[in-house]
Structure 1
Amino acid sequence: MEALLDTIRRMRAAGGERLAVDAPTAGPFAAFDPAQLRVEVAPGASAQLVVVHTAAGVSSLEVALGEGASLDLAEVFLAEAFAELHVRQSARSACRMTAVELASANASWRISLEGREASSDVGALFLAGAGEHGVMRLRTDHRVADCRSESLVKGVAAADGVGEFHGLVYVAPDAQRTDARQQSRNVVLGDAARIVAEPQLEIYADDVKCSHGATVGRMDDEAILYMRQRGLSEAQARRLQLEGFAGDVVARCGIEPLGEALAEAVAARLAHI
């Protein structure tokens, strides 16, 4: 994980309990183990922020996006942190978040779309090995009309590892023309591993496009056989399939200095899960 940490350390530190961004483009910023942090992105501004948890603790992060603002946010768990995040979005703002749990952790996120044409994209991944328990909770509130949200949460559990995803998309009575999609895809490796996936919809408007789904299964034996017929060992085929499964989330990361290092860290973790 040192290469990943070195990449993040080279970013500009988001010191203190408040980060205010008013420039057209700013970042990437990095926050290590923040107990409390408020991020404010001014109207029309854009920013990139990486939050990394390297020690056990409790973290609270609040994000406010002004009208037309945008934020690329990445949250990386390397230790057993309990983290809460609340993102509040004004009209035409955009937030793209990538989150990866490489250790036992408990993450709770709330996205509030409070202005028309706001959009939220979330990609999240948890990896739970022996004795580990990864939890992700995501609530997306569509408070007004004409907003869009998409979330893809993936999980891998091995040995006696446990993973949980609890998701909710809430659509308020006046939030017409909402477009919301929520998906959870999970793989268990072995009979003792367990993953619970609970995506939900709570809709009070009638002119909407909303969908949700969840799967929990094992690796694709036919795909593994196909790769073995082309010269790969079973171990190599399984590793490549897992890396491809997890890479779909990591590839969503919009923070260029982080993406490659995060992909390498995920691959290394999968090799020892």
Structure 2
Amino acid sequence: MAAMTDILSGFRSVGSERLRIGDDSDAVQPFVAVDPAKLRVEVAAGVSGRLVVVHKKPVAAALSVLLEQDAALQFTEIFLAEAFAETTVMQAARSRCCMTVVQLASANASYRVDLDGAHAESSVGGLFLAAGEEHCVIDLRTAHNVPDCSSDSLVKGIAGGCAVGEFRGLVYVARDAQRTDARQQSRNILLSETARINAKPQLEIYADDVKCSHGATVGQMDADAILYMRQRGLSLAQARRLQIEGFAGDIVRRCGIDALGEALVDAMSRKMEKMQ
């Protein structure tokens, strides 16, 4: 994790329980909060910002994020220890929140996204990598409370050993939230016969003019692809690693910070080498 630590040391540290991103200059250098127990983030109207939250200790955390009109936030949350985190996101009109969640240890992450202003956009990419007897949970509820909002979530899971992974997703569309566009997907890979992944995407729709979809898959690694790579000189471990990197790399790289994305891919690959 040394590379990741070096990268994060170059970000601006959040030193209190409240962070207000009030100027576009804040988007130049990301903010970082390490092991926050409580944090409220506000992004001013028309302003863009980037925030990375890292959990290195097994503690509980409560985060709230408020995006004012036309605000944009690139929010990345990384779990390196067995933490429990609850995050609420409230979005005003035309705001955009792009959230990336990466669990590299047992963790329980809960997210509640409220789209409260017309043309608000939410995008969530999540990944959990569970080994041994780890238990990873991502719980996501996205509420379309007004018309003309969009949301898109893709959560991927990988579990080996006797590990357990869970994704619980709900897209809620209020009665008057017409012209909602919502997509929710969960894709998962099991590396052993004793690992388990439970994926439960759901829709709760009370409007009639909507475009909503959801789905989930749980499967094994592509045996034909592994055989193809082994025939070209790669070991079984190398072939498995390349396939997993191809499966999960798009999630960790979407954080919008190239160096951090590559450090996450490296950390994921090192953990994969120890998984069965």
Shorter chain as denominator, the TM-score bin is over 0.9
Distance 1:223 1:41 in 2: 45
Residue matched to 2:193: 191
Distance 2:229 2:191 in 1: 19
Tell me which of 145, 150, 157 is aligned to 1:148.
Answer: 150
Distance 1:146 1:165 in 2: 26
Tell me which of 149, 161, 168 is aligned to 1:159.
Answer: 161
Residue matched to 1:94: 96
Deviations 1:78-111 (CA, angstroms, capped at 9, x unpaired): 0000000000000000000111000000000011
Residue matched to 1:19: 19
Deviation of 1:3 after TM superposition, in Å, equals 1.3
Aligned AA (2:241): R
Aligned AA (2:8): I
Q: How does 1:1-273 map to 2 (within 5 A)?
A: 1-26=1-26, 27-273=29-275
Quick one: percent identity of the two aligned structures? 62
Distance 1:257 1:238 in 2: 24
Deviation of 1:233 after TM superposition, in Å, equals 2.2
Deviations 1:36-94 (CA, angstroms, capped at 9, x unpaired): 00000000001100000000111000000010000000000000000000000000000
Deviations 1:233-256 (CA, angstroms, capped at 9, x unpaired): 222111100111111211211133
Kept in 2, the 8 Å contact 1:243–1:270? The answer is no
Mind listing any 5+ residue stretches in structure 2 that lack a counterpart?
none
Deviation of 1:2 after TM superposition, in Å, equals 1.9
Kept in 2, the 8 Å contact 1:155–1:186? The answer is yes
Distance 2:141 2:250 in 1: 21
Distance 1:28 1:248 in 2: 20
Distance 1:222 1:263 in 2: 24
SS at match of 1:252: helix
Deviation of 1:15 after TM superposition, in Å, equals 1.1
Kept in 1, the 8 Å contact 2:237–2:273? The answer is no
Distance 1:257 1:113 in 2: 31
Aligned AA (1:13): S
Kept in 2, the 8 Å contact 1:48–1:255? The answer is no
Distance 1:81 1:48 in 2: 22
- Counterparts in 2 of 1:86 and 1:170: CA distance versus 1, 3 Å: same
Aligned AA (1:10): G
Distance 1:255 1:118 in 2: 23
Distance 1:84 1:68 in 2: 25
Distance 2:58 2:203 in 1: 32
Distance 1:102 1:9 in 2: 20
SS at match of 1:15: coil
SS at match of 2:24: coil
What RMSD, in angstroms, separates the aligned Cα atoms of the two structures? 1.0
Distance 1:189 1:129 in 2: 9
User: Normalised by the size of structure 1, how large is the TM-score?
Assistant: 0.98
Aligned AA (1:21): I
Aligned AA (1:17): E
Aligned AA (1:2): A
SS at match of 1:251: helix
Kept in 1, the 8 Å contact 2:172–2:204? The answer is yes
Kept in 1, the 8 Å contact 2:130–2:158? The answer is yes
User: Normalised by the size of structure 2, how large is the TM-score?
Assistant: 0.97
